[in-house]
Structures are given as C-alpha cells and as structure tokens.
Amino acid sequence: MSPFSSESAWLCLAATSVLGGMLLCRSKSPGQWRRQMLCLAGLWGGACLLSLSLLCSLLLLSLGCFLLYVSSSDQELLPVDQKAVLVTGSDSGFGHALAKNLDKLGFTVFAGVLDEAGPGAEELRKTCSERLSVLQMDVTKPEQIKDTLSKVTEKIKDKGLWAVVNNAGIINFPIDGELIPMTSYRKCMAVNFFGTVEVTKTFLPLLRKSKGRLVNISSTAGRIPFQMMAAYISTKAAITMFSSVMRIELSKWGVKVITIQPGGFKTNIFGSPDTWDKMEMEILEHLSKEMQEDYGRDYVRAHKNHLLTMRDLSGSDITPVLRDIELAISAKNPSPFYAPGKMAYLWICLEAYFPTTVCDFVMQRYFGPKHIPRALRDSRF
C-alpha cells in the first residue's frame, strides 16, 4: 500500500507545504530561512532515526513548521519616519558601510569615528546627506562618549534616538593564548566589551524613551573556540552574554536587544602590515626565557601569515551583514540573533549540539596552527 494512500498523510503533507511556504515568505533574511530549514532537516533526520512511520514523520514536521512560524520574527519593516541611529566604529568596515546604507534609507545617522579627520570620516562627509553627522567617538574614552551624547541630544531634541549599533572593535595577533601579552587582552576588552557597555549605559535613557533598538555586533567566534584568538573571542563571548541579559532586562521598557554574530568577512579589522609588525614585536618583547626555549621566536614570526590566511578566507561581500543589521533596526519584530555569513549558523549548531570532543577535533584538524613549538618539534627526534 502506498504511504500516501491515507487521507491523514495527504493532510499532513498539505499542512507541511502550506506552513513551509509561509515560513519562506516571512523569512526575508537568507540567514533566517537557512536556520529554519536546518532545524526542519534535523527534525526530519531525527524522525528517520527513530524509524517513525511516514504519517508520524509528516505530523512531526508539520508541528515543527507551525512552531517555527509562530516563533519566527516578523520581518515587516517599520517606516523610517526620520528615525535616528548611532553607529560606533564608522571609520571603516561594517560601521562605515552601515552608516552609508542607513543614510540612503533616510535615517538620521550619527557616525561615531575613532578619527574625525581620517579618510573614513572624510568620505562619509563627502558622500552622505546632511542627515549624517560625523562625531569624534573613541569608545574607550568616557568623555568623548558623553560629548557625543550631548551632541546627539541637541540635534534630535524630542524626536528620540531609535537605535544604537555597537560596532567598534579590534582583533589580536593570532597566537597561542599563553603568548598573547596582557596588554592585548586588556586592549581588546577595553574596545570590544567595555566600550560596548559604556556606550550602552550612556545612551539607554534615550532608547528607553523611544522604545527603540540596541544592536550589538558580536561574532560567530564568540561561540566557537577558534585557536590563537583567545583575546578577541573572549570579548565577543562577553558581548553575546551581556546582550542576552540586557535583552531580558530591557524588555519591560519596550527596548529590543539584537545580537549580530557574523561569520568571516573581509574588513579593515585585520589591520595593515605595519600593525601586524607592531603586534609581532610586542609579543616577541614579552617572551620570557622559558617561553623562547619552549616556543621559539620563529614560531611567533610564522603566525603572521595566519592573518593573511584569515583575511583571504573571509568573504568580501558584506551585504548579508548589512541586511541583517537593517532588519535588527527596522523589522517590526526582529529576531534576537542573526548569524550572517556562509556556514556561520552551522558552526554555532556544531558547538551547541555536538559533543565537545567532536568540536575540539574539528577545531584542531581544520583550524589548528600549521607550525609546532620548538620544544614539541625537538621532542619528535
């Protein structure tokens, strides 16, 4: 007898098709529908492993589609209506492109930059409308953050500040956590995490007044233990947890908190060869005699090429990131998390659902350093 001979099976198949179609229609973000399809595929795979009948499998899948539809975010965009947005780290990368994009969409944009006389700031002034204001804002300097608050408040008056996008960030030299100088740990934490917290605390009164959006740029690396990035990914993990707590606490005020966890994208966060040389010299200067014997200075120098590899493997099209940030700012009911980028959500699922030993094996096999410390290299002979 055909598995589709019963009316119940046809009914479940029809319900699954309708709900699946509604999910695709609602999911304007590619990242969102990929996550949903991955969840449904996992559900179907689980049903197959349990050797459920076709009718039960379709019923389970239909129920899964229904629950995903009910819980999925509504991607209907709210009108711009002269909404004001503050973006930190607008000198280059995501922040620079986002400031331009929001200006084109009609938002009033406050572009916080590290250097108001730098090329990034000058380009924003030349290419954007008068709605965009370039403001000197080093997120590690509270006085500059307060000065920005005064200027933003003066300009928006009673219109309110709709959104804050905490984007400013830096990365460390890729090397074993034992070799990363404490100055690098502190600098990464100061910019990436404490800067985000300081900006958030300063501008929250305006966001609570407008019942607006707090958008924090974290990273897939904040969930995945990538080797040689201990300083950077620790700060991103801190941002992710900080955002999750704030999302719950600020819900009573009507403020939505969204975390963006991009995969690998090619931006200026990787720095220039001069920057790499300085970071390399800082590490070499802090090497103790014991570390020089165990690791070797050549081990440190060899890792500079890893930055080039990271940059080359990163995607050059940052459109997915900009699209998800726009949804976070403008969607009627945005998702709490967005993971733009190829394989980004898959890596998060790998870490969340697979045994730690499997994740560690993958990290060591595919992302481990190609070079071996001197002591381990010598012990082979």
Residues assigned a catalytic role: 232
Give the whole-angstrom CA distance, residue 215 versus residue 109. 14
Q: Distances in Å between the alpha carbon of 35 and those of 24, 202, 287?
A: 11, 34, 44
Q: Do 250 and 259 meet the contact criterion of CB atoms below 8 Å apart? A: no
Q: Give the DSSP per-residue string, 219-270.
A: -GGGTS--TT-HHHHHHHHHHHHHHHHHHHHHGGGT-EEEEE----B--GGG
10 Å Cβ neighbour count for 44? 16
Helix axis angle for 344-353 and 30-49, nearest 10°, is: 40
Helix axes 142-156, 195-210, angle to 10 degrees: 20
* Phi, psi dihedral angles at 337 (to 5 degrees): -135, 145
